[in-house]
Structure 1
Amino acid sequence: MKEENIKEIARILLGTSLIFAGISHLTFARKDFKAQVPDWVPLKKDDTVVYSGIVEIALGSALVFTPEKHKRKVGKIAAAFFIGVFPGNISQFTHKRSAFGLNSDNKRFVRLLFQPMLVYWAIKSTGDRNP
């Protein structure tokens, strides 16, 4: 399979995953997502979850449907979003908040290691098609 096709599949998979995550923010996983909101965020936890869910749906849609000429920019924005929400994962770990089956320090710590992979995925799947 060509690298271009792999990137396309990876980009669409990331986009649809973000859309799903965004929908889950607004519906069935709302309570779990509140556990990730750091106490220092100046908004109500529920509002933060709703707003981040809307952003995830928008980013996911952009990853899936953006024209070729804007894909790199959308990938960078998605990577910045993953960096921006990382403090929530750190907060869940440091405050020992159980959510999403992350009910031990080890599981919450391992979750932290996946965030850099999401940043890489966003950049790599939207990078140059023809180097």
Structure 2
Amino acid sequence: MTRSERSPLLLAGLLATAGVAHFASPRPFDATVPSALPGTPRTWTYASGAAELALAAGIALPRTRKAAALAAAAFFVGVFPANVKMAVDWRHRPAPLKAAAIGRLPLQLPLVLWARSVARGGEAQA
């Protein structure tokens, strides 16, 4: 299997793993939900987990891959505020945790580029 054939499956696997994590251990995700959003953080945690699982399934299937990959790119942009909130909230935590929270911020760009690359059918950018 070539790199370009593995790339969509790897992205689908990443999204599926994250989606399952939202259901298996929702509390850490609840804490990243911006308070400006209506409803409860748990509702947003479960909704984003379900979205990640749906995106993973869509990317795994060649017939829906392009649309799902473009939706994944938009999803990665959409969850960026949660990563910003996490970095702000964790600014007084021990250095390794603070570094992890801050380190997540620039990772969104490669994820967006990777999803766009999968949508185009090209090799992964990440």
Q: Please list every run of 5 or more consecutive structure 2 residues that lacks an aligned counterpart in the other structure.
A: none
In 2, are the aligned partners of 1:22 and 1:53 still within 8 Å (CA)? yes
Distance 1:8 1:43 in 2: 40
Q: Which residue of 1 aligns with 2:22?
A: 25
Gap change, CA 1:20 and 1:128, over 3 Å in 2: closer
- Residue aligned with 2:119, SS: coil
Distance 2:121 2:16 in 1: 24
- Residue aligned with 1:49, SS: helix
Q: Please list every run of 5 or more consecutive structure 1 residues that lacks an aligned counterpart in the other structure.
A: none
1:36 aligns with 2:36: no
Q: Identity over aligned residues, as a percent?
A: 30
User: How many angstroms does 1:30 deviate by?
Assistant: 0.8
1:124 to 102, 117, 121: 117
Find runs of 4+ consecutive structure 1 residues off by over 3 angstroms. Answer: none
Q: Which residue of 2 aligns with 1:75?
A: 69
Distance 2:23 2:91 in 1: 20
Q: CA RMSD of the aligned region, Å?
A: 2.1
In 1, are the aligned partners of 2:21 and 2:49 still within 8 Å (CA)? yes
